[in-house]
Amino acid sequence: MVVKKLVAGNWKMHGLSADLVEVKAIADASRNYPGVDVALCVPAILIERAVRAVPGFAIGGQDVHHQEKGAHTGNISAAMLLDAGAALTIVGHSERRDAQRESNAEVKAKAEAGLAAGLGVVLCVGESLEVREAGKAVETVLAQLDRSLPEARGGEAELAIAYEPIWAIGTGKVATPSDIAEMHSAIRAQLVERYGEDGAGVRILYGGSVKPSNAAELFGIHDVDGALVGGASLKAADFMPIVEAAAG
Ligand code: 13P
């Protein structure tokens, strides 16, 4: 199945008011690529300003709490993201699984909360270097996915998976095309097993040191339906060549 590619930027803990010019530049330039879905996941506090700056362009959050509301100091609910104008959110990024000790069960609950509220959800999985070197990358990622995937794929909101090998994030190292192809096809098989035909339409993004110089090769790999881009999404000059590569 050929799906429209999604190129999403993850700004992580970067982005002040002054950087809204980059959001604007990316949103404006993205209009030239109607065949690619483009989104930027910015810090929560910047979402509303970004949405106002670029109406109609997909702005997302980087995390969501699994509960609707309550005594959860510092957390942000799906309804709050929507209220700020977000269209999607990332869940289960390895930086949160690590630093915030997020479990697969929590990530699953977050994905379900986001989808139930009508937010697109980009669910991240990925293995450590130790696991990769032990030859256990595929089984580890599939186990992580099995426990993190939302139960059902009902509703309109879109689920996407981002395969991000932890050792490739921010390091300049990228998994080999054959390793990526193997992983994405294993993820695809699990999605189809879980969701039936709907699983064939779930986009599987690659993430980890995606740059203008390697994007075209990555997008040429079977079952790579887009990218989740960190560092290279902060500036339009770096990000737009990646979007262009996705347009083919
Ligand atoms: P880099 O593109 O900076 O390696 O980050 C990838 C990532 O973690 C995106 O979520």
Give tens-digit pLDDT for 183-205.
999 999 999 999 999 999 999 99
Its pTM stands at 0.97
| 161 CA → ligand 1 middle, Å | 14
For position 153, what pLDDT does the model report?
A: 77
Residues 6+ apart with CB under 8 A from 57: 23, 26, 27, 30, 38, 39, 40
Residue type, 210: V
104, two tokens: 């697969």
Q: How much of the chain, in percent, has pLDDT values that exceed 90?
A: 95
pLDDT at 91 over 80: yes
Residue 162 near residue 228, CB atoms below 8 Å: yes
Mean pLDDT of 12-17: 98
- Percent of the chain as helix, strand, coil, to the nearest 5: 50, 15, 35
Closest residue to atom 5 of ligand 1, CA basis: 230
Residues in the chain: 248
| 229 CA → ligand 1 middle, Å | 5
| 169 CA → ligand 1 middle, Å | 5
**How far lies 24's CA from each of 30, 99, 202, in Å?**
10, 31, 28
What SS3 class is residue 104? helix
Residues with beta carbon inside 6 Å of ligand 1? 10, 93, 164, 169-170, 207-210, 228-232
pLDDT at 2 over 70: no
